[in-house]
Amino acid sequence: MIARKLTWFCAALATLSLALCPHASAGSKRSTAPGTYRDWNGDIDEVTVIQPFRLDSYNDIAVESFDLTGVPLPNPKENTFEAVRSAIARIKPAFLEGFQRNLRRKVGPNVVEVGPHARPSTLVIRARLTKVDPGSQAARYFIGFGAGAVKVAIIGEIVDAASRKTLVRFAQERRSGVGAFGGGYGELFARTALQIGGDVAGLLNAF
């Protein structure tokens, strides 16, 4: 009897926990309800929905300049330093390409700065690079199987330009480790950013 009551109590506690803290589960992977979700839709590491919105109610979608503040770079004495610094310039264009390619609405994102006179009905994507890891080209070439992969990570938010209110926050990391002769840094950084852009477009498409 005590065991049955304990089992019932644990089940009730688990149900209450899910209701109060709706993390991603088999039934909520594409949820747009307020809450924090991990492995959202099996594609995005973490999504926090603060306020749901309707994508079709916005006339424009804009992507701000990527914030590079605080991105750790290799030691200037390492041979990957210049490769990473030059590859960073390819990340945003590749992100935009993946974003536009996967967005269900064919709206050309523009680089804008959101100010007090922001154009109404604009949805703004803000992103900050948090990781630009070159991995090891030698490991990719000689070992393979994901060893030495390039990694790119961002955190970002989706903002209503008119109210300047944050609607959704997200965090995503991708890696690429396959290419000819281990893959060049620029090639793999661009490919990884392209995938992340597609991921963010998929997030918007759910709303």
For residue range 163-182, what is the model confidence (pLDDT) as tens digits? 889 999 999 998 775 544 34
Identify the domain containing residue 59 by its residue range: 2-205
Closest CA to 189 of 158, 149, 145: 149
Q: With contact defined as beta carbons under 8 Å apart, do 51 and 165 qualify?
A: yes
pLDDT of residue 147: 52
The CA distance from 116 to 102, in Å, is 30
* Chain mean pLDDT for the chain: 76
CATH number assigned to the domain comprising residue 131: 3.40.50
Q: With contact defined as beta carbons under 8 Å apart, do 111 and 63 qualify?
A: yes
For residue range 50-71, what is the model confidence (pLDDT) as tens digits? 999 999 999 888 888 788 777 8
The CA distance from 178 to 145, in Å, is 8
Q: Domain count for the chain, please give it.
A: 1
The answer to whether the pTM exceeds 0.85 is no
Contacts of 198 (CB under 8 A, 6+ apart): 98, 99, 101, 102
pLDDT of residue 70: 76
Tokens linked to 182: 């281990």
Does the structure show a pLDDT above 90 at 38?
A: yes
Q: Positive or negative, the Cα torsion across 185, 187, 190, 193?
A: negative
Tokens linked to 167: 């609607």
Q: With contact defined as beta carbons under 8 Å apart, do 31 and 45 qualify?
A: no
More confident residue, 17 or 102: 102
